[in-house]
Structure 1
Amino acid sequence: MKIQDIQAIQLWLSAPKKIAIIPHRGPDGDAMGSTLALYHFLLKNNHQPTVIAPNDFPDFLAWLPGSETVKIFEKDTENCTKILEEAELIFTLDFNAFHRTGEIMEQTLAKLTAPFVMIDHHQKPDDYATYMYSDTSFGSTCEMVYNFISFLNKKGDIDKTIATCIYTGILTDSGSFRFPGTTGDTHRIIAELIDLGVENTQIPVLLFDNSSYSRLQLLGRALQNMKVLEKHKTSYTSLTQDELDSFDYVKGDTEGIVNYGLSIKGIVFTAIFIENKEEKIIKISFRSQGGFDVNQFARDHFNGGGHSNAAGGKSLLSMEETLNKFEDLVTKLTI
């Protein structure tokens, strides 16, 4: 992060401020961990922070300290808009383009006059932030929040509560420390967080071993639907709205299912296609191993983006048409 940006933010934070903190739509562990870590840090420094999520976060993240204070924009748009308009400083975490918050919130953010601070690790950031900490080399925004607090010479403020939020985001976005963005520095930070009292044996249980029976049945259906294009080192699966409904789907139930496609020997590229009839889209998650860039693939073909080995996208076509398009594209790839 630029020294002049750090100094400017230090000046902004030298007196109590009303501050809004925003994660992306469909917030995951890194989005919620980073925003809540920053929330507790700012609260500790006598500011008035508010986390405003575009929509609901999954139940398996509801144990995070401070999650009960999070405002949901789509449920309370009028009040959330008022908070945003009154904010003196706005942090956007784990995303780098307003459209990642949804159409209505995107329009609201575009009208605000307060300075924005971006902390994010995705590629190709939009030019909206006054102060930017953007670096694709990091495996998680939570690791960047740890660094951000250190840049402000406030590392001593990181207590067990803040550490728990940061640990959660690093753990989830690193694929339990398996993804390429995990470095020696990542593990050194994790060691410091554990020394601060983070319950590193309990958090994975809360995140990964807390499924409903219906969620496991839904996983089974997704695995039954999986198709392997062995010649092209690709696999994919899909879930229709009817299938989601039949297994009492709740937000978060499909989290992580896409990764099963990479557990097949010889597979380098995988995807999951999930129908959302309410939004009239097919939501897509892409994953890869090695040098195949799913970020570019998502940008080129499915109005998406993300990281080199993990990205998302969407399709306005039917499920059948979307899957046919995907298979046709894959047959033309060199993987």
Structure 2
Amino acid sequence: MNKETTQLVETLLASPQKAVIIGHKNPDGDAIGSCLGLSFFLKKIGHSAAVVMPNDFPDFLKWLPGVEEVVIYEKETEKSTQLIEEASLIFTLDFNSLERVGELQQILESADAKFIMIDHHQQPADYAVATFSDVTMSSTSEMVYHFMDALGHSEILSEAIAINLYTGIMTDTGSFRFSSTSPTTHRVAAKLIEAGADSALINQNVYDTNSPDRMKLLGLALSNLHILPEYRTAYITMSQKELDAHNFKKGDTEGFVNYALSLQGVVFAVIFIENKQESIVKISFRSKGEFSVNAFARNHYSGGGHNNAAGGKSSQSLNKTISEFISILPRYKDELAHA
């Protein structure tokens, strides 16, 4: 954080606050880890803190310290609303537009509390009184560590804080293999390990708890892999019928798109996931090198994210969405050829 933002946050935290910490819809490891890590930190320095998520999150994150206290808006609407209405401070983590919280958006827009944003996505909205935004950071969880450090409290790292922040960093960096992983990221991870984050156990809890249904779904996803060598692109499709046949649960398709990106010669990978309940096709984009999937998602699919990892959606059918995607690629042929 810069000096001005740090001083403002110090002023806001100078007296006990009723803080609510919000993550984005369909929370991932970074959203959950950063929010829980921050909640433990705020409690340690004398504030009350509650974590509210718009909807539920994958089972492979439900072992994290403090997870039993997370309030899910979809399940506990009245409690979530009351917490937000009574809050004096609202932290928004791992998103930078209130559109990312689904039905919580209207409640947050009506809140009387002051907002503090901590996020690493591009083009932040201007709704917070204090904004800590850095698109070069590996994860929001890493940013929470720097937030603590800027306030002069990095020495009070607890095991619970360390486990949550390490999990967020690990998942958002693809186990430290994405280009956003910096030397500083590794230094922060080392400090978290020293504070009690068992890296081997965290890795096991996140990645080695697959159900038979999820493994079979992965096999199906790989059989649905299509390669377009002229565009250095690969994509995977998942229909609602295929998901239902494998007892799909939230988080089951996490990381599938990375298998497409791992192909030799591929620099652009996409997964299209049909969601009949919301009448949309959810899309995840990944890239290597200079090709910006953030720009691609913003230009064509009402989405965004990072240069090499972004998301979007389509209101068309799965087949029409795929056809449209293929029709767009020729515009990017030169850019993909030199990515």
The answer for the alignment partner of 1:70 in structure 2 is 70
Task: Give the drift of 1:132.
Answer: 0.3
The answer for the alignment partner of 1:37 in structure 2 is 37
Task: Give the drift of 1:170.
Answer: 0.6
Distance 2:264 2:256 in 1: 17
Task: Give the drift of 1:5.
Answer: 2.1
Distance 1:230 1:78 in 2: 51
Distance 1:85 1:2 in 2: 30
Q: Deviation per CA, 1:17-74, whole angstroms, max 9, x where unpaired? A: 1100001001001000000000100111221100000000110000110000000011
Q: Structure 1 residue 254 and structure 2 residue 247: aligned?
A: no
Distance 1:93 1:11 in 2: 20
The answer for the alignment partner of 1:23 in structure 2 is 23
The answer for the alignment partner of 2:211 in structure 1 is 212
Aligned partner letter, 2:47: H
The answer for the alignment partner of 2:329 in structure 1 is 330
The answer for the alignment partner of 2:130 in structure 1 is 131
Q: Deviation per CA, 1:220-254, whole angstroms, max 9, x where unpaired? A: 11100110001110000111111000000011100
Distance 1:36 1:197 in 2: 16
Q: Structure 2 regions of 5+ residues with no counterpart?
A: none
Aligned partner letter, 1:51: V
The answer for the alignment partner of 1:264 in structure 2 is 263
The answer for the alignment partner of 2:307 in structure 1 is 308
Q: Give the secondary-structure state (helix, strand or coil) at the position aligned to 1:112.
A: coil
Distance 1:199 1:155 in 2: 18
Equivalent residues in 2 for 1:181-200, closer than 5 Å = 181-200=180-199
Equivalent residues in 2 for 1:74-153, closer than 5 Å = 74-102=74-102, 104-153=103-152
Q: Give the secondary-structure state (helix, strand or coil) at the position aligned to 2:274.
A: strand
Q: Give the secondary-structure state (helix, strand or coil) at the position aligned to 1:254.
A: coil
Task: Give the drift of 1:76.
Answer: 1.5
Distance 1:331 1:246 in 2: 35
Q: Structure 1 residue 276 and structure 2 residue 275: aligned?
A: yes
Relative to structure 2, which stretch is displaced further, 2-11 or 69-78? Answer: 2-11
The answer for the alignment partner of 1:57 in structure 2 is 57
Distance 1:197 1:90 in 2: 28
Distance 1:96 1:46 in 2: 26
Aligned partner letter, 1:320: N
Task: Give the drift of 1:108.
Answer: 1.0
Distance 1:86 1:196 in 2: 33
Distance 2:273 2:307 in 1: 21
Distance 2:109 2:12 in 1: 21
The answer for the alignment partner of 2:176 in structure 1 is 177
Task: Give the drift of 1:301.
Answer: 0.2
Q: Give the secondary-structure state (helix, strand or coil) at the position aligned to 2:19.
A: strand
Distance 1:46 1:59 in 2: 31
Aligned partner letter, 2:27: P
Q: Deviation per CA, 1:72-114, whole angstroms, max 9, x where unpaired? A: 0111212211110100000000000001001x21111111121
Aligned partner letter, 2:69: T
Distance 2:37 2:210 in 1: 25
Q: Deviation per CA, 1:176-198, whole angstroms, max 9, x where unpaired? A: 11111111111111111111221
Aligned partner letter, 1:70: V
Aligned partner letter, 1:79: K
Task: Give the drift of 1:11.
Answer: 2.1
Distance 1:235 1:72 in 2: 35
Q: Structure 1 regions of 5+ residues with no counterpart?
A: none
Aligned partner letter, 1:108: I
The answer for the alignment partner of 1:2 in structure 2 is 2
Q: Give the secondary-structure state (helix, strand or coil) at the position aligned to 1:283.
A: strand
Q: Give the secondary-structure state (helix, strand or coil) at the position aligned to 1:176.
A: coil
TM-score (norm 2): 0.97
State the aligned residue count.
334
Distance 1:197 1:152 in 2: 21
Distance 1:273 1:36 in 2: 30
Distance 1:157 1:27 in 2: 26
Distance 2:2 2:228 in 1: 46
Task: Give the drift of 1:286.
Answer: 0.2
CA RMSD after TM alignment: 0.8
Aligned partner letter, 1:307: H
Moved >2 Å (runs of 4+): none
TM-score (norm 1): 0.98
Task: Give the drift of 1:320.
Answer: 0.5
Q: Give the secondary-structure state (helix, strand or coil) at the position aligned to 2:199.
A: coil
